[in-house]
Each structure stands twice: as C-alpha cells, then as structure tokens.
Amino acid sequence: MIINHIDVNSVMTKSSLPVGGYSVNPYVGCPHACKYCYASFMKRFTGHSEEWGTFLDVKHWKPISNPQKYAGQLCVIGSVTDGYNPQEETFLRTRTLLEELKDSGAKIMICTKSDLVVRDLDILTKMRDVTVSWSINTLDENFKNDMDGAVSIKRRLAAMKQVYDAGIRTVCFVSPIFPEITNISAIIERAQDRCDFVWLENLNLRGGFKSAIMGYIEEKYPALLPLYHDIYDKGDKSYWKILEEKTKSLALEKGLPYIDNYLPDGRSEKGKPTLINYFYHEEIRGSKNTGMRKL
C-alpha cells in the first residue's frame, strides 16, 4: 500500500447528487480494492497512475471553524472511499471529522464495508441524526473475497447489529446486485433483525472495470455469461424489471414496507426493515420515509 499525506483546504465538498448536501471523504483511494468499484474513476482527478486499491492519500485539513454551517445538511462520509478502511485505525481522520461535526446538527450518513465504525459509537450515539450503511451483496465469503478485500460479511453483520442495538439507524445496502449470484432474499433474512432499511442497487458496469467483471463471470459462472451479455452489452433491462417485481412480492410475503425512495429517515419497526428500490443506478431520486422503529 502506497500511503501519502496531503493537505487540503477543506474536507467538505458540495455534493452533486440530487439530494444535495456534502460529500465527505477523509481519504483518496481505498485499500478494499473492490473489483466493481465505481470510485476508481477518481484516479483521473488525483494524478494517480497506480492500480486502484494500491494507494491511499491521507487528507489533512484545517479544523472546521463553523460546524453549525452544516446544520440540517446531509453529509455523506465515504462516497468515493471508505472512511473506515484499515488505515483509519492509525490515522483517525474519520474520527477527527466526527469530533468536529459532533455538535453541528448535520445529518451524518456513513457508507462502509468495515466493522471499525463501532470504535466511534461514543461519538455517534451523541449525534442527533446518524445513518450507518454497510454494503453486503452476498453471504458467500468466497465470492466476497473474489470481489473485495474488506472485512468478512460475518464481521459486517456483527457490526450492524452492535450499531443497531446502540439506537443508530442502520442500512443493509445490497449492492451491487450481481444477476443470478446475489441472493436478495437470503441477505434480507440474515439482516432484518439489525437494520432499519435495505437498499437495493443493480450492478453497474459502465466503468473501466467492465472487462474484469465479464472475464470473472466467464471464468467462474460461464452459464451466466449470455445473461450478462444481454444486460451489459445489449442494454436489456428486463432482468431488473422482473427482479423488481420479485422483490416487491418478497416484501409483501415478509410483511416488509417497500418504497421507491432513496434516503432513510427515522427508524423502522424492529425486525421489519423498509426495502428501498434503487435498482437503476442512473435513476437516483431523493425522497423521504418517516417510519419510526419501536425500540
């Protein structure tokens, strides 16, 4: 791992997402080296020629002088990195950020594949509005290991439970959904007692990693290659439309709310997470759900 330290004027970047707010990335690059990572495009803007996953820039910024400026604003920590990558244990950049925003009144959303986030429960439980989301697209540790170098699914689920039980809003982000490989039903069954929301996102192969993923499917799942060609070479969306209907039926069968919203708000009833349809990566929409979990 190539580690550099860089000085930046601010770690808070105005978000271009429809939901607004700020994208907050305490690092550049990510050691998880996910084979499908959309954030690998960041290399174009940072001057890195190294392979994605082999470098990490540790950001150092001037302390946030007016944190109340972000009151009510959505602040997504980890939009193009994982703020809880293994190096965070040493450099504490995400923890420093949380300390600076602790009394800001900002809406904090943490996106991670790590269990290191439980280290910061002492801060997170004191903040007014926090969501922690874990990406989990399989229960098969071997497939997980083929796709990323983050901690095991077992550790992610254990962390989700600990954060959930601490009273913090949690999300099981089923992403990316690999057609005929990701078992949505099994993941929901495993996670529904420890999350308020389940997000569902399709595998998007628009990035430069398309050839690597298609090569992997050809090698490990050759019977699925025609389906992947239909979806990713011919632009056929019928698989996702059918899967969407199946997921709606699954939600109805399990008695789980199912909505076409994007952002979580409030808590769900214990054991009944709200499923959020986000199958079409290019059609992201901002919206609101106000269900409250009964603790």
Q: Based on the fold, state whether residues 83 and 184 are members of the same structural domain.
A: no
How many domains, in total, are found in the chain? 2
Task: Decide which of 127, 152, 186 is a domain's last residue.
Answer: 127
Q: Based on the fold, state whether residues 222 and 272 are members of the same structural domain.
A: yes
Decide: 23 and 80 in contact? Cβ < 8 Å: yes
Question: What residues make up the domain containing 112?
Answer: 1-127
Q: Based on the fold, state whether residues 184 and 68 are members of the same structural domain.
A: no
List Cβ neighbours of 11 (8 Å cut-off, separation of 6 or more).
24, 25, 26, 59, 61, 64, 97
- Where residue 71 falls among pLDDT bands split at 50, 70, 90? very high
Q: Based on the fold, state whether residues 117 and 192 are members of the same structural domain.
A: no
Q: Based on the fold, state whether residues 153 and 55 are members of the same structural domain.
A: no
Q: Of 104, 108, 52, give the one whose Cα is nearest residue 76.
A: 108
Q: Based on the fold, state whether residues 137 and 114 are members of the same structural domain.
A: no
Q: Based on the fold, state whether residues 116 and 183 are members of the same structural domain.
A: no
Q: Based on the fold, state whether residues 153 and 243 are members of the same structural domain.
A: yes
Q: pLDDT (tens digit, 9 = 90+) per residue, 265-284?
A: 788 888 899 998 766 544 43
Angle (nearest 5°) at CA 290 between 117 and 259: 90
Sign of CA dihedral 55, 41, 80, 94: positive
pTM above 0.85, yes or no: yes
Angle (nearest 5°) at CA 263 between 261 and 264: 105
pLDDT, average across residues 258-270: 80
Of 161 and 39, more confident: 161
Q: How far apart are CA 129 and CA 172, in angstroms?
A: 18
Q: Based on the fold, state whether residues 137 and 253 are members of the same structural domain.
A: yes
- Long-range residue pairs from 266-270, CB within 8 A, at least 24 positions apart, any chain: 266/169, 266/196, 266/290, 266/291, 266/292, 266/293, 267/169, 267/196, 267/291, 267/292, 267/293, 267/294, 267/295, 268/196, 268/197, 268/292, 268/293, 269/293, 269/294, 270/193, 270/294, 270/295
Q: Based on the fold, state whether residues 104 and 241 are members of the same structural domain.
A: no
Q: pLDDT (tens digit, 9 = 90+) per residue, 196-209?
A: 999 999 999 977 78
Task: Assess whether pLDDT exceeds 60 at residue 22.
Answer: yes
Whose structure tokens read 């989990």?
Answer: 136
Task: Decide which of 127, 153, 178 is a domain's last residue.
Answer: 127
Q: Based on the fold, state whether residues 138 and 96 are members of the same structural domain.
A: no
Q: What is the pLDDT of residue 295?
A: 32
Q: Based on the fold, state whether residues 290 and 148 are members of the same structural domain.
A: yes
